[in-house]
Chain A
Amino acid sequence: MSSTTNRSAARRAYGRYAVRRLAQAVAVVLLAYVFTFLVISVLPGDPVSNVLRDPQNNFSEQEIARIVAYYGLDQPIWVQLVEALSRFVVGDLGVSLRSNLPVSGLLADVLPSTLRLAGAALAVALVLAFAIAFGVRNLPAPLARPLRAFPSLFLSVPNFLIGLVLIQWFSFQLGLFLVIDAESLLATFFAAVALGIPVSAQIAEVLIANLDHEARQEYAAVARSRGLGRARLFTAHLLKPSSLPVVTVVALTVGELLGGSLITETIFGRNGVGNLVQRSVATQDLPVLQAVVALAAVVFVVVNLVADLVYPLLDPRVRLDASPARTKEVSA
């Protein structure tokens, strides 16, 4: 068995795997959309007509007729669903009931701010988690032992509290950033710290548990028998196998980052998706809410898809093709 046929077989297996995962991801997003559509449709009291008939809104009869026609509100529910789905797949997220503007435009205005926050928070979480894990394994015991308690400490403090404390210290007392200039670099950084700390705790916990596990493996002792010291053992041997499962954990924390960013945005006065959601909930602007849910599903699914597609490339032990590795003893 030559290694080239082996490799191309592995590549084909990966291709099949990628296609299958991609199809799954698309299915999950569509199902999530259908699900939210149905939940909203069965809400009691017909919120859409409430909004339309609200005298404060001043909709003219023509406008009401146009909106009813656009959403097919006079049609049976499954026709509405099919129409909503066919708009969704071409990227049409509908029109806000409040402002009469396309929902995609409204989202595009606020999304960059949220993505900046969530991205920065993830970076903070990763740096913090790896720093803690490094400290736990490499610092002398009197320092390392208390450091082990940090993740559970972080987890037990809600992020809005961290946010409020940060604002109190760094903005009000030290004047490092202005709460009114919420999108500034420093303000974003502190918001990301507030959001990232609890997430870092989850990553750090997994990482430390994996490092402890790997350090107990036979190969770690054998590597030390080749004269490796603590730090080299950590960087050359333990870090990679311990970090691989973290890819999956990071993907799972994305939900937390998104949910958390809505709260953090409010505390730090940022104009992000959270703000839009808040306004839309208050005014029962259902097309906007549904679009946000769909967006969250897409982000979550895409991140997990990327994690699943990347993992087999990082871990040489993962074999996607079913045929067992056959190796031969080479004679002396």
Chain B
Amino acid sequence: MAPHDRLTTLLDEPAATALPDVPPVLAVEGLTISYGGTQVVHGVDLAIGRGQSLALIGESGSGKSTIARALLRLLPEGGRADGRAVFEGVDVLALPERRFRPLRGRSIGFVPQDPGASLNPVRTIGAQGLEAAALLDLGSKAERREAVLETLAQVGLDDPRRVAASYPHELSGGMLQRVLIGLAVLPRPALLVADEPTSALDVTIQKRILDLLSDLQADLGNSLLLITHDLAIAAERADALVVLKDGTVHESGATTAVFAAPSSAYARRLHADVPSLNPERYADLRAVGERRHRDADATPARIEVAGLTKTFGRGDDALVAVDDVSFSVPAGTTHALVGESGSGKTTTIRLLVGLETPDGGSVEVAGAPVHQHSRAELREARRHLQLVYQNPFTSLDPLWKVERLVREPLDRYGVGTRAERRDRVREAVASVGLSEELLTRRPAALSGGQRQRVAIARALVLHPDVLVLDEPTSALDVSVQADIVQLLLRLQAERGLTYLFVSHDLALVRQLAHTVSVMRHGKVVESGPVADVFAAPQHDYTRTLLASVPRGAER
């Protein structure tokens, strides 16, 4: 299916997001929001039918959270909302705070974006749950406590009593998100506003949380405003979609219609950039490595990992982070390391680049063992092996300009003359598609995508053979991610670079990698060519991971 082939404009009448025959629970008209004097949301219209779900989609900064906050009237100081938001017949934006407060929680529930920051760190879950239970008008405190335990069980937390007695820092992100969903649905609100409820979570947990929201919606009959940046999730979970960009609605309508034939250029781009919807998007570029992979028998492996083992801690606390891991990567191809957080991916790459010493096993890069080296030899080996980190927002020194950031590895290794270094920096920056003007900027003045390009330029400047990419796009929006993926594939095709690509996003792996190892609890549970593993997964865990990829179309 190629949706961009069908360019028919289905939506002549604006904002028909509530399906016909379903009276809207919430109808927003001309919602305009500004912070200080700056307008960030410009006349947004949307409507949610009773018991229905509406997905609000957009890249980061498009104004999704701002809209959610405005509907709950929880904009931070300086925020101001104009327009109408009619909830069950009342314009909530016009109500005085005193009249609106009873609606919060009771009629409109809120599931926040960042589970780690959304519960008071010095109060127990139970104490905060009682606040939600207080909205139920139950008689006694014992009944309220019972209601909290019930809701914790309902959202799939195994030991509600223990969870209630815990402080937030004692629970994982997935558990906290369950708690927050539980507290939001406890008072049985007619409308649940969920602001990227899964963006901070692993794929498998993401699926469970989304399933939970769908199940609760079926049980309780509430309406759902699901905010997401992932079109595939939106298409899979919502009855209707609203696509937002820079605070303006670019497209809206019933999911099936929008998804099959997006009418706006932006929605089409968004659709094309979602890896799970376009697995073969970069087939041409990827084919170069694929051929190299086929000829792999002739060429020696560029990375050879055998029986790698690493244990942290001792005695009862011992944790085998990497357990007998082996894989080999032919030169000029991409090997993906896939698994949930905590599965041992990061430790494996730290061992690979010599930041940790293994308890057993060996790593060879370009035929030379990484760990039997002296310090000086290790330094030389690492020159051919560069690492690109997950988060471009924290991995670059904020005080340095781009020029110095990219030049620093050359200085460190004392490469060439001053003039030669300057040329190498310019070449590296050009090869990642950044203009020379940016050389004098500091990271704060760059977008996330630009920062990650700088990080890649910095890795390339030493002309390495191997790049280790630690979730290089997980902090970026889909469209920015698509640009970076394309860049990486182009560089590989042109220069024959070998990549070790760490990710939890299987759809991305499908687009980018040639071979894959699936890791769980430190072990490789399955490995092989990407096409084979994806077409016929052998291990249950691989099947679970694959099933967790939102596919949109399957509604």
Q: Is B167 in contact with A316, judged by CB distance below 8 angstroms? A: yes
Q: Is A325 in contact with B74, judged by CB distance below 8 angstroms? A: no
Report B-chain residues with C-beta under 8 Å of the C-beta of A327.
170-172, 175
Number of A-B contacts (CB under 8 A): 101
**In whole angstroms, how far apart are the Cα atoms of A221 and B112 in the complex?**
9
**In whole angstroms, how far apart are the Cα atoms of A222 and B177 in the complex?**
12
Q: How far is the CB of A238 from chain B (nearest CB, A)?
A: 9
A-contact 0/1 string along B171-213, CB 8 Å cutoff: 1101100001001100100000000000000000100100110
Q: Is B112 in contact with A218, judged by CB distance below 8 angstroms? A: yes
**In whole angstroms, how far apart are the Cα atoms of A237 and B76 in the complex?**
17
Q: How far is the CB of B547 from chain A (nearest CB, A)?
A: 14
Stretch in B120-128, B404-412, B423-431 touching the partner: B120-128
Stretch in A13-21, A200-208, A226-234 touching the partner: A226-234
Q: Is A223 in contact with B120, judged by CB distance below 8 angstroms? A: yes
Report B-chain residues with C-beta under 8 Å of the C-beta of A224.
74, 104
Q: How far is the CB of A283 from chain B (nearest CB, A)?
A: 53
A226-B135, A229-B101, A330-B175 as given contacts; A241 in contact with B121, CB under 8 Å: yes
Q: Of the candidates B74, B76, B120, B175, which one forms a contact with A225 in the assembled complex, judged by CB atoms under 8 Å apart? A: B74
B-contact 0/1 string along A298-332, CB 8 Å cutoff: 00000000000000000111000001011111111
Report A-chain residues with C-beta under 8 Å of the C-beta of B102.
227
Q: Is A329 in contact with B205, judged by CB distance below 8 angstroms? A: yes
Closest to A222 in B: B118
**In whole angstroms, how far apart are the Cα atoms of A229 and B69 in the complex?**
16
A227-B104, A237-B120 as given contacts; A221 in contact with B74, CB under 8 Å: yes
Q: Is B156 in contact with A236, judged by CB distance below 8 angstroms? A: no
Report B-chain residues with C-beta under 8 Å of the C-beta of A70.
none
Report A-chain residues with C-beta under 8 Å of the C-beta of B287.
none
Report B-chain residues with C-beta under 8 Å of the C-beta of A236.
123, 127, 131
Stretch in B21-29, B157-165, B275-283, B506-514 touching the partner: B157-165
Number of interface residues of A (CB under 8 A): 33
**In whole angstroms, how far apart are the Cα atoms of A229 and B99 in the complex?**
12
Report A-chain residues with C-beta under 8 Å of the C-beta of B114.
218
A-contact 0/1 string along B103-142, CB 8 Å cutoff: 0111001101010011111110001100110110000000
**In whole angstroms, how far apart are the Cα atoms of A217 and B118 in the complex?**
8
Q: Is A148 an interface residue (CB 8 A)?
A: no
Q: Is B72 an interface residue (CB 8 A)?
A: yes
Which of A219, A225, A237, A325 counts the most B-chain CB atoms under 10 A from its CB? Answer: A225
**In whole angstroms, how far apart are the Cα atoms of A221 and B68 in the complex?**
12
Q: Is A115 an interface residue (CB 8 A)?
A: no
**In whole angstroms, how far apart are the Cα atoms of A219 and B109 in the complex?**
14
Q: Is B6 an interface residue (CB 8 A)?
A: no
Q: Is A227 in contact with B105, judged by CB distance below 8 angstroms? A: yes
Report A-chain residues with C-beta under 8 Å of the C-beta of B169.
316-317, 325
Closest to B133 in A: A226
Report B-chain residues with C-beta under 8 Å of the C-beta of A323.
313, 317
Q: How far is the CB of B284 from chain A (nearest CB, A)?
A: 39
**In whole angstroms, how far apart are the Cα atoms of A224 and B120 in the complex?**
12
Q: Is B110 in contact with A225, judged by CB distance below 8 angstroms? A: yes
Q: Is A240 an interface residue (CB 8 A)?
A: yes
Q: Is B156 in contact with A331, judged by CB distance below 8 angstroms? A: yes
Q: How far is the CB of A268 from chain B (nearest CB, A)?
A: 40
Q: Is B208 in contact with A332, judged by CB distance below 8 angstroms? A: yes
Q: Of the candidates B110, B170, B175, B316, which one forms a contact with A329 in the assembled complex, judged by CB atoms under 8 Å apart? A: B175
Within 8 A of A (CB), among B363-409: none
Q: Is A225 in contact with B122, judged by CB distance below 8 angstroms? A: no
B-contact 0/1 string along A55-84, CB 8 Å cutoff: 000000000000000000000000000000
A226-B131, A323-B313 as given contacts; A332 in contact with B211, CB under 8 Å: yes
Report B-chain residues with C-beta under 8 Å of the C-beta of A227.
101-102, 104-106, 131, 134-135, 187
Which of A217, A222, A331 counts the most B-chain CB atoms under 10 A from its CB? Answer: A222
Q: Is B104 in contact with A226, judged by CB distance below 8 angstroms? A: yes
A330-B159, A330-B175, A332-B156 as given contacts; A222 in contact with B110, CB under 8 Å: yes
Report A-chain residues with C-beta under 8 Å of the C-beta of B123.
236-237, 240
- A-B contacts, 11 of them at CB < 8 A, read A5-B316, A218-B117, A219-B120, A226-B104, A227-B134, A227-B187, A237-B120, A237-B123, A325-B170, A327-B170, A331-B158
16 additional A-B residue pairs with CB within 8 Å, beyond A219-B117, A327-B170: A217-B117, A219-B119, A221-B76, A223-B120, A225-B105, A226-B131, A226-B183, A227-B101, A227-B135, A237-B120, A237-B123, A316-B122, A317-B169, A327-B171, A331-B156, A331-B208
Report which A residues bind B (CB closer than 8 A). Answer: 3, 5, 216-219, 221-229, 232, 236-237, 240-241, 244, 315-317, 323, 325-332
